[in-house]
Structure formats: structure tokens, C-alpha cells
Chains A and B, each alone.
Chain A
Amino acid sequence: MMDNYLNLSNKTIAVTGASSGIGKAAAQMLSRFGSKVVLISRNSQRLKAVWKSLAGNGHSYYDYDLSKCDGIIELVKMITDEQGPLDGLFHAAGVSFMSPLSILKEKHLDPVIDINLGATLMLAKAFCLKGVRRQGDTSLVFMSSVAGLRGQQGLSVYSACKAAVDGAVRSLAVELAPRQIRVNSIAAGAVETEMHERIIKNLSEEAVENYREKHLLGFGSPEDVANAAIFLLSVASKWVTGTTLVVDGGYCCF
């Protein structure tokens, strides 16, 4: 039994942000573990390419911009009407936002809050609806960040959103445990994704090297974080809820 504890065959798992980075890596890994994967992303072209790259059959993809929180319930209902009930959901979609306070404007706030926090809560709400999830142990996994745990210049809005996700996870875990829904988040350090590349290309070589050195094991790969998501989605974590799993190559040791 213990040798297949990560077996996710016959499970249907939805992954947001599935067209790139961590979401893409998780979707591909889930398919290799036997899951039927529902891909969600706003980039339909890349989404289709990821869909084609998945192992096995029965996968599907949905083109949706999750910053539009008011349509998430309908989206999830449509998905489960067409694909059947979900066993789990990994919300990897998000946007980073760097803006020192000196140039921060009120108009910057909503787009960052909507996708990082609003979508998290609406996806959780949708997952609880009748017919959306399968009976028995189910799992919600939300992407958080070490930015929610450690301070960094210019990241106050992003940090606040990710700390809010971690806070929401605790309360959602309490609220949803009676329905056998586990709720956890992953606080990732710097992972070498396209988003990461966009951030570091604006930094000096010295600043990038300092940033790298704070990650004792170097920058991570999308697969490093996807591994944690697989664990939290699988029965291997059936006694884990309300936690933030730090996957950061040692960044938070300081």
C-alpha cells in the first residue's frame, strides 16, 4: 500500500494557471500519476499546448481569466457538469506585483487582490457546492509565497495577499473539515518561471546573486513546487489540513 501512496489514478483534479510555470508542471505531473486533469488558464494557446503534452486521456482545458472573480462559480459548475465531480483543486494562477510605496496607487490594488485572494476564496466556495466535488477525502491547495512570511522591498501588496491566503487557509480548513475537504497552501520561494525571469531581469547581477544566496539550495524549479502540490492533493497528506507548506530552498531559515 505504501509504495503507491501518491497514486492519483481515477482522481479528477483542476489546476489553475496551468499554461505555464508551477501550474503547468503540476498538471503534467498529475497526468503522469494517473489523474484526469482539468486545465484552467487565460492563455488558450499555451493551454492547448499543455493539454497536448499531458500523459493519458480524459483531460480537458478551459480558457478563463480568474481575475474575474464573479464568474468563477459558473465556471466551476460548467466544468463539473462536463467533466464530473472534482477530487481536488490546485490554484496556481496568480500575479506578482512589485511596487514600492512611493509609486503605489489605489488602482493597482484590485487586480492583484482579485487574482491572488479573491479567486482563492471563490474557488473554495465553488468547490463546496453540491455536485462539484466527489464524496470522501478531497483537497484544496492554494499557491502562497515566502513573501507572505518574510519582508521584501516593494512587495507589500503581494505580501499582504499571500499572507491573506495563508490566513484564509486556516479558517477554511476549520470550516470545511466536516465536509472532508482539506485546505492547505504552499509558500514557495523563488522558482525559475517566466514570472521570475521578468522580475530578475530588472535587477543587477549583484542583487540577483544576493537573492539566490538567500535560497540555501538555489532557486527552485516548477517541479520542486509541483511535488509539494502532488503530496497535498494525494492521500499521503490525508491528515494534513490548515497548514502552509514552505517550499523555498531554505529562504525562510533567515
Chain B
Amino acid sequence: MALDSFKEDLSNILEINIDDLHDDFEFDSDNWNSLSIVATIVAIDEHFAIQIEGDKLNSCHNVLDLLQLISYSIRMHDKL
């Protein structure tokens, strides 16, 4: 549920149709910039209640990288 809601937000952030949001969707300088990263930080916080630093998001190259980063961060957060 949280993941679905997050993906809906992410498709809005990337300005694409949610049906086009596949794991291999590549980020580039047009769709993955300072504003979209800030929006993603806010969306991750809202849907997963965790904070991920902008620098880490900036290193993601595609949707799969991002989802794996979120998954890893949730596991680390739960261990605390």
C-alpha cells in the first residue's frame, strides 16, 4: 500500500504516467534534479516514515536503485 502510494507520487515527480514507471526507468538531469530529489525525500518520509539524505538519492541511476535504497534504509531504520 505504502509502496503503491509512493510510486504514484514518484510518477508525478518524474512527470510520467504510472504505467511507464518500470524498474529500469532511467533518471537523467531533466527528471532527477534538486527539486525532484527534494520531492522524493518528502514522499519517502510521508509513505515510509524514514529520512534519506539527498546525496544518497542523487547517486541513484534508475527506479530500481531508488527502491533498493529505500528498502535498505527501512531495514537499517528497523534495526535501530
Contact = CB atoms under 8 A, between A and B. Distances in A.
B43 A103 contact: yes
Interface of A is mostly: loop
B75 to A, nearest CB: 20
Interface residues of A, number: 13
Interface string B36-67: 10110111001000011111001000000000
Contacts of B43: 103
Contacts of B9: 102-103
Given A102-B15, A103-B13, A203 B54 contact: yes
Contacts of A201: 51, 53
Interface of A: 98-100, 102-103, 153-154, 201-205, 207
Interface of B: 9, 12-13, 15, 34-36, 38-39, 41-43, 46, 51-55, 58
Given A100-B35, A204-B58, A207-B34, 18 more contacts: A98-B38, A100-B13, A100-B42, A102-B9, A102-B12, A102-B13, A102-B15, A103-B13, A103-B42, A153-B35, A154-B35, A201-B51, A201-B53, A202-B41, A202-B52, A203-B54, A204-B53, A204-B54
